[in-house]
Amino acid sequence: SENAITRVLYTAQIHMQGVDLVWSLPTTPIVDLLAPLKSQSETIQKAHVTGTLSATGTLHWPSRIWSAKPLILGFDVTGLG
Domain residue ranges in the chain: 9-78
- Report whether 47 contacts 40 (CB < 8 A): no
- What pLDDT sits at residue 26? 97
pTM for the predicted model, two decimal places: 0.83
- What pLDDT sits at residue 2? 64
Give the residues of the chain that fall short of pLDDT 70. Answer: 1-2
In Å, how far from its chain's centre is CA 5?
Answer: 12
- What pLDDT sits at residue 69? 99
- What pLDDT sits at residue 5? 86
- What pLDDT sits at residue 1? 57
